[in-house]
């Protein structure tokens, strides 16, 4: 079962979820406190972000469909 806690950063509450002995920070909470939705959209369209997400999925998701992801990456260029 995942546990969650929050931290306060410059007055904004940001959720941290701990699962399988790893911490995951809420990007949504960060954006709410320090920018608007366009910030996360821009980050998600960034080529380096796509590469990072692909690597993370390969390492952590046994059901990851790498070939489908490659097709997606090529289309996003």
Q: Count how many domains the chain has.
A: 2
Q: Per residue in 25-60, pLDDT tens? A: 888 888 887 777 788 888 888 888 888 988 989 998
pTM of the model: 0.56
Q: Quote the CA–CA distance of 59 and 49 in Å, as a whole number.
A: 15
Residue 40 lies in a domain: no
Amino acid 47: pLDDT: 84
Domain co-membership, 51 together with 74: yes
pLDDT digits (tens, 9 = 90+) for 6-30: 999 888 899 999 988 888 988 888 8
pLDDT at 42: 83
- Distance between CA atoms of residues 44 and 37, nearest Å: 11
What confidence score (pLDDT) does residue 32 get? 81
Boundaries of domain holding 10: 1-35
């Amino acid at each position: 079962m995942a546990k969650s806690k929050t931290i306060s950063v410059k007055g904004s509450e940001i959720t941290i979820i701990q699962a399988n002995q790893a911490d995951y920070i809420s990007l949504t909470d960060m954006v709410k406190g320090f920018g608007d939705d366009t910030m996360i959209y821009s980050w998600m369209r960034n080529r380096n972000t796509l590469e990072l997400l692909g690597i993370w999925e390969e390492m952590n998701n046994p059901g990851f469909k790498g070939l489908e992801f490659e097709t997606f990456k090529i289309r996003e260029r």
